[in-house]
Amino acid sequence: MAGRIDTAFAKAKAENRGSLGVFITAGDPDAATTEALLDGLVDAGVDFIELGMPFSDPMADGPAIQAASLRALQGGMTLTATLEIARNFRQRHPDMPLVLMGYYNPIYIYGNDRFIADSVAAGVDGLIIVDLPPEEDTELCIPARDAGLNVVRLITPTSHDQRLPAILAQASGFVYYVSVTGITGMASAAATSIADAYRRIRKQTDLPIVTGFGIRTPEQAAESARLSDGAVVGSAVVDIIADGVANPASPDAAENRAVIVRKVVAFVGELSAAIRA
Amino acid sequence: MGKTNLNTFRNQPDEAGRFGIHGGRFVAETLMPLILNVEKAYKEASADKSFQREMYYYQKHYIGRPSPLYFAERMTAHFGGAKLYLKRDELNHTGAHKINNVLGQALLAKRMGKTKIIAETGAGQHGVATATACALFNMECEVFMGAEDVERQKPNVDRMRLLGAKIHPVTSGTGTLKDAMNEALRYWVTNAETHFYIIGTAAGPHPYPQMVRDFQSVIGTEAREQILEAEGRLPDALVACIGGGSNAIGLFYPFLDDTDVAIYGVEAAGKGLSSGLHAASLTGGTPGILHGNRTYLLQNDDGQIIDAHSISAGLDYPGIGPEHSWLHDIGRVNYVSATDEEALVAFQLCARFEGIIPALEPSHALAYLSTVIGDMDSDDIVILNMCGRGDKDLGAVLPVLEKLGRM
């Protein structure tokens, strides 16, 4: 059965272009803003959405996404509420792929089986769990795959060829190429290194390969989407939210939220236009 | 999965780095190939006699090992119970047990051809030890330290700078030891190919908990020989303080199969366990995943990590080494706690009765021991790990003692 992720990538491919994914953190700065942002991302033309599950100690993330997690947690966000946002989103958007991204501990505390069941019920399509390498697959990734969730793998410049079969063994949906050896929101990778990595990974899998980490501009998104099968933008979007929270355009919360959403939608619209150009 | 051979408590971790359900390798993919490299290099080094000889050379001539096992006669008389021996790792070069592990890891880094070292530090003892080893072996050293600790522990910051280390004050998150460790891991992810990360406690992803334990086990191995020589028999009890737990596992490990030896690990109860302001992950926490391993953590119902609190910056950590979590689960070690105030009383007592100014960390061990040692038999023998000296703590301790009218 082709899932929403497979369908979305097939559609972009048929349009002869790469896919665009955008990351935002659930509850940053509150659930209502996240729900409005998710609707805005769909309107702006993204192909899939990564929804971050906030964690107090995100060790693979740079300052922007760490701060987003803290804003969300200060606003009272929980994993239960994140799944609620996903469930509401699915009711409004039956086709848009939604991937949950985060760290293992909140899931472990929620309960792996319960988390998998609730994710499936909410209409989540896949999981990216940053601190679960293939060596730690048995507890969550394999049961999640068996329940029909895509397990999206991170491949990094340090993942050498001999390691790829282990990484790809349980992978489904797409694979996420972390184009810089580093944390989110850093400098972007050189085009040649992305192209080389793409060829190297392509030899070992037929799954779509998307590029992420360090993609901040429409030009970079277009280039990454051309060199691979898609681009993910996170920190640059999160920065707009951070700025909207730090420098409110209006004392009225609803109005300020609308301004943040408008700015994000405008930016993501540019990303979307660039990969379609 | 960890298989427990009922005949020994010294067969952990398994191939996957598990101590029972604890331990493991919960890290981002970027780090995974590096950690596998460290594991392979450590396995080879452990089996290499020349590596062991090199370690022994530096332990003896540079650290000053073996550290004495000292009969604390006046405190013994004061408590009126069991005979108290202090394992004097505070006499090591750099003033704490941390150097035992750092030298081992620095020699491993050297063997792997790495010349750039990173480390996290809380109180600064591990940072100073790492900066020292880097000076010794001509390596670049960068130390991550919570911004608040940089203020609290200025003498150690100055020592590190003098030794040539670069200090990164960490303001992300809550700016404490756990954030320093997050930041060191982030930096390692970014500089994965060139740098070696010397973790300071018996925690983190496999093989670190095992490696740090092995390097610190020199404490227990010596203590075992020394007490047999002094008393002709094994002790009745061991006591050590626990933050991440490296000094404690170093003392405990060689005694784990001597089941007549009772073992006590003392966590920091901060302002009291019921106050919520403490660092007692075993007594007040639940298993979870942080910094590459599963272990007991201070966390809320949503799996978010809660800040630890302790007057001792070295115990101020919301987790604990995974082997302690396992020893807690199976009941081989008794984990107890002592508050800030109890530790301060013990700090002063040790200074006045033995002329030894202890670090705040082992003051916790002494504080707990002072509540039970008086009830023990006068033939009984206790060994306490005096894992660090207190010079670094004077700035934090003296104002409090003055306020309490105890000076």
Contact B236, B310 (CB under 8 A): no
Taking CA–CA distances from A102, the nearest residue in chain B reads: B28
What number is the average pLDDT over the span B25-39? 95
From the centroid of its chain, how far is CA B386?
A: 12
Q: Specify the amino acid at residue B124.
A: G
Question: For B219-269, what is each residue's pLDDT tens digit?
Answer: 999 999 999 999 999 999 999 999 999 999 999 999 999 999 999 999 999
Determine whether A139 is an active site residue.
Answer: no
Q: Determine the pLDDT at residue B49.
A: 98
Query: Strand pairing partners for B305?
Result: B299
Predicted pLDDT of residue B1: 43
**Which tokens in the block code for residue A237?**
């979007």
| CA–CA–CA angle B124, B128, B132 (5° rounding) | 170
Interface test mutation site (partner B, options A136, A180, A188, max chain B beta carbons within 10 A): A136
Residue A111 pLDDT exceeds 50: yes
> Based on the structure, what is the number of domains in chain A?
1
**pLDDT tier at B313 (50, 70, 90 boundaries)?**
confident
Dist. CA B160–CA A123, nearest whole Å:
53
- The SS3 assignment for A51 reads strand
What are the chain A neighbours of B286 within 8 Å (beta carbons)? 109
Is the CB of residue B238 less than 8 Å from the CB of residue B219?
Answer: no
Mean pLDDT on B37-51 = 97
- Residue A110, both tokens: 């929620």
Q: Which residues of A touch B191 (CB under 8 A)?
A: 181
Instruction: Classify B57 as helix, strand or coil.
Output: helix
What average pLDDT does chain B have? 95
**To which H or E segment does residue B270 belong?**
strand B262-270
Run of H or E residues at A210: strand A209-212
Where does the pLDDT of residue A182 fall: very low under 50, low under 70, confident under 90, or very high at 90 and above?
confident
pLDDT (mean) for B212-223 = 98
The pTM of this model reads 0.96
Q: Is B256 helix (H, G, I), strand (E, B) or coil?
A: coil
Q: What is the mean pLDDT of residues B70-77?
A: 98
Helix ranges (H only) for B12-146 are 32-46, 49-58, 73-79, 98-111, 125-136
Q: Which residues contact B254 (CB under 8 A, 6 or more apart)?
A: B217, B220, B221, B223, B224
Query: Would you tell me how many other CB atoms lie within 10 Å of the CB of residue B399?
Result: 11
Residue A226 burial (C-beta neighbours within 10 Å; 0-12, 13-18, 19+): middle
For residue B3, pLDDT over 70 is answered with no
Are A158 and B186 inside 8 Å of each other by CB? no
Q: Do A135 and B29 touch (CB under 8 A)?
A: no
Domain range for A40: 4-276
Of the two residues B382 and B148, the one the predictor is more confident about is B382
Counting beta carbons within 10 angstroms of the beta carbon of residue B378, is it exposed (0 to 12), middle (13 to 18) or buried (19 or more)? exposed
Of the two residues B104 and A192, the one the predictor is more confident about is B104
Yes or no, beta carbons of B30 and A60 under 8 Å apart: yes
Q: How far is A254 from B186, CA to CA, in rounded Å?
A: 36
* CB-CB under 8 Å, A136 with B24: yes
Distance, in Å, from the CA atom of A27 to the CA atom of A29, rounded to the nearest integer, reads 5
Question: pLDDT at residue B151 above 90?
Answer: no
Q: Which of A61, A125, A229, A239 is catalytic?
A: A61
Q: Of the listed A50, A223, A229, A239, which one is catalytic?
A: A50
CATH code where residue A199 lies: 3.20.20.70
Residues constituting chain A: 277
Q: For residues A151 and A163, give the distance between their C-alpha atoms in angstroms, rounded to a whole number.
A: 17
Q: SS3 helix, strand, coil % of chain B, rounded to 5?
A: 45, 20, 35
Q: For residue B19, what are the β-bridge partners?
A: B22
Residue A34 has pLDDT above 90, yes or no: yes
Query: Contact A133/B29, CB-based, under 8 Å?
Result: yes
DSSP assignment string, A77-122: --HHHHHHHHHHHHHH-SSS-EEEEE-HHHHHHH-HHHHHHHHHHH
pLDDT of B5 reads 55
Query: For residues A102 and A57, is the Cβ–Cβ distance under 8 A?
Result: no
- A153 CB neighbours in chain B (<8 A) are 29
SS3 label, residue A230: strand
Q: How many CB pairs under 8 A join A and B?
A: 120
Q: What is the pLDDT of residue B338?
A: 98
Residues of chain A with a CB closer than 8 angstroms to some CB in chain B: 55-63, 66, 70, 73, 78-80, 103-110, 130-133, 135-136, 153-160, 163, 167, 178, 181-183, 186
Yes or no: say if B295 and B242 are a contact pair by the CB < 8 Å rule.
Answer: no
Q: What does the pLDDT read at residue B249? A: 98
Question: What is the band of B6 on the pLDDT scale with cuts at 50, 70, 90?
Answer: low
- Interval B40-65 mean pLDDT: 98
CB count within 10 Å of CB A187 equals: 10
Q: How many other CB atoms sit within 10 Å of the CB of residue B130?
A: 32
A15 catalytic per annotation: no
Q: Which residues pair with A153 in a beta bridge?
A: A175
ipTM of the shown complex: 0.95
Phi, psi at residue B193, to the nearest 5°?
-75, -25
* Consecutive H or E run containing B70: strand B69-71
* pLDDT classification of A184: cutoffs 50, 70, 90: confident
Q: For position B2, what pLDDT does the model report?
A: 46
Q: How far apart are CA B189 and CA B209, in angstroms?
A: 19
Residues 6+ apart with CB under 8 A from B137: B106, B107, B110
d(CA A48, CA A38): 10
Question: What token pair was written down for A197?
Answer: 């990595």
The span from the CA of A206 to the CA of B170, in Å, is 42
User: How far apart are alpha carbons B405 and B31 in whole angstroms?
Assistant: 51
Residues 6+ apart with CB under 8 A from A198: A177, A209, A211, A227, A228
Which of B337, B349, B365 is CA-nearest to residue B397?
B349
b/e per residue, B249-282, with b = 16+ CB within 10 A? bbbbbbbbeeeebbbbbbbbbbeeeeeebbbbbb
B377-393: average pLDDT: 96
